[in-house]
């Protein structure tokens, strides 16, 4: 395996992470962090470059492992999401790490009066990263790049569900990193629950809200701060004046990314009542066009495992038994769902009501629920009465209705007329709110997530604050306090008057 000439791998060793326990790896990294101190820009950039090389040099082997883990997953999807998809943010981190890490002078005017203030962004130490199975590398390597940009060491635990992919990374990681910098944790070290118990300096988790809650509880026992990137039932709303053909195509396509196994896929759609039938017909037509075959189609991503296959099929059956109408795209001569291939046909449900499991549970599969609405307020009320989603979709113009929807709901992000476009911005944060997550990353936000904003001051003031705030308090101190109270009361009265005139 040939390494790019510009990558410095001299520091990389051949010691496998599996030679040590998780606790030992944490101790090794923490000792190295304390020994070496805060890394300079060159070191940080080199680590991000080696992280990129680990993916790029082994991309074909990784794609093959992902296909084996899923049973059916197109190479192009794996390359686009778990390899190329990482490079956007990793490259951005590499280009800007030196600028972001610089100490900044703030409130310079006060420095002239004898009070200097500086702001540092210091690394936390050792960061633990727990990844999910749907994009097992993108959702571990991108936060790892942010952690390296911020100057940290990384304990990375890709999902054990995609075990073959994790094994490829664990096998090759020592060619690029000594375990003091990056250690890959596998199921051989212990469970994800065991990993969550580590006393790292920050725990980053991507996965379901249920598991995220458990991770947060374990981390809280050690007062370890957490970033939780979770999921939820992402809603979509079609504007009354929207082009129904465009809306149906984009939402039908978005639902089927990675077989619907994406935390950002639309889960349910609100469509103007008068256009419900047209929208439903066009979604089904789009799926028929895109999937003339399914059972033997290598580009149709399988459901990851039997457990999830059974769960998704159960959600469809429960809804149908309770009165929902099922619309499925099943090519001629095929019998679907197919448990052996773990393939579920694209499914659209109408007539879904409260009491059906799919009304509350995130599907995470190729199923789209469609509701009619007469007034936009009905859609807003439904969305707001459920846990805040990771994202929300709108099909239509950037108009007053769009603003009304945004103002009346809460979500991690909002995307109009296309799938997850906020992911492709280097300036926007990625993260949820409420049940869909805690904290954010990507771009500078990721750097700040894995840094500590550290205040540094120097006082050459002619008076001593310590003396003024400690007994005994003199008449001068009382006059000064009373004078300040009167001054701030005046300011507050002026603010009240000014606000009334707005």
* Residues catalogued as catalytic: 229, 263
DSSP string spanning 30-45? HHHHHHH-S--HHHHH
Lookup result for tokens 């073959």 = 164
Residues whose CB is less than 8 angstroms from the CB of residue 445 and which lie 6 or more positions away in sequence, other chains included: 429, 430, 431
- Neighbouring-strand partners of residue 130: 157, 205
CA angle 209, 155, 88 (to 5 degrees): 75
Query: What are residue 429's phi and psi, to 5 degrees?
Result: -75, 155
Burial label for 99, CB within 10 Å (0-12, 13-18, 19+), is exposed
Print burial letters for 180-212: b (CB count within 10 Å at least 16), e (below 16). bbbbbbbeebbebebbbbbbbbbbbbbbbbebb
What is the distance between the terminal CA atoms of the chain, rounded to a whole angstrom?
67
Tell me the C-alpha distance between 325 and 368, whole Å.
Answer: 12
Tell me the C-alpha distance between 156 and 154, whole Å.
Answer: 6
Helical axes 84-100 vs 138-149, angle rounded to 10°? 10
């Amino acid at each position: 395996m040939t390494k790019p000439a510009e990558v410095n791998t001299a520091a990389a060793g051949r010691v496998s992470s599996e030679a040590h326990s998780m606790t030992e790896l944490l101790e090794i990294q923490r000792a190295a962090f304390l020994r070496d101190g805060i890394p300079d820009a060159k070191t940080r950039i080199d680590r991000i470059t080696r992280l990129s090389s680990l993916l790029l040099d082994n991309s074909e082997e990784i794609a093959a492992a992902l296909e084996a883990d899923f049973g059916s997953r197109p190479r192009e999807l794996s390359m686009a999401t778990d390899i190329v998809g990482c490079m956007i943010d990793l490259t951005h981190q590499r280009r800007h790490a030196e600028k972001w890490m610089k100490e900044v002078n703030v409130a310079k005017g006060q420095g002239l009066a004898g009070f200097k203030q500086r702001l540092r962004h210091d690394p936390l130490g050792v960061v633990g990263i727990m990844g999910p199975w749907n994009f097992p590398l993108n959702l571990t390597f991108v936060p790892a790049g942010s952690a390296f940009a911020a100057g940290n060491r990384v304990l990375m635990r890709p999902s054990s569900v995609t075990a073959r992919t994790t094994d490829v990374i664990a096998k090759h990681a020592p060619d690029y990193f000594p375990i003091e910098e990056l250690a890959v944790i596998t199921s051989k070290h212990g469970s994800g629950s065991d990993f969550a118990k580590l006393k790292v300096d920050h725990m980053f988790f991507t996965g379901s809200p249920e598991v995220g809650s458990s991770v947060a509880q374990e981390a809280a026992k050690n007062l370890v701060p957490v970033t939780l990137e979770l999921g939820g039932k992402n809603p979509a709303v079609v504007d009354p004046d929207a082009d129904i053909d465009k809306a149906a195509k984009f939402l039908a396509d978005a639902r089927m990314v990675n077989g619907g196994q994406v935390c950002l896929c639309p889960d349910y759609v609100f469509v103007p009542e008068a256009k419900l039938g047209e929208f439903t017909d066009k979604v089904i037509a789009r799926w028929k066009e895109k999937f003339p075959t399914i059972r033997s189609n290598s580009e149709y991503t399988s459901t990851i495992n039997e457990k999830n296959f059974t769960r998704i099929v159960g959600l469809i059956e429960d809804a149908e038994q309770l009165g929902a109408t099922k619309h499925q795209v099943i090519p001629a001569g095929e019998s679907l769902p197919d448990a052996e291939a773990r393939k579920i046909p694209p499914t659209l449900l109408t007539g879904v009501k409260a009491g059906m499991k799919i009304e509350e549970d995130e599907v995470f599969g190729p199923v789209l629920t469609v509701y009619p609405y007469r007034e936009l307020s009905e859609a807003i009320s439904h969305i707001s009465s459920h846990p805040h989603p990771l994202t929300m979709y709108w099909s239509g113009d950037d108009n007053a209705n769009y603003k009304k929807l945004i103002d009346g709901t809460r979500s991690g992000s909002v995307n109009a007329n296309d799938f997850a476009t906020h992911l492709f911005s280097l300036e926007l944060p990625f993260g949820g709110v409420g049940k869909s997550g805690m904290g954010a990353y990507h771009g500078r936000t990721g750097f700040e997530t894995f840094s500590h904003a550290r205040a540094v001051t120097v006082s050459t003031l002619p008076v001593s604050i310590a003396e003024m705030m400690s007994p005994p308090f003199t008449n001068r101190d009382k006059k000064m306090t009373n004078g300040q109270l009167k001054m701030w009361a005046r300011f507050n009265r002026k603010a009240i008057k000014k606000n009334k005139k707005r």
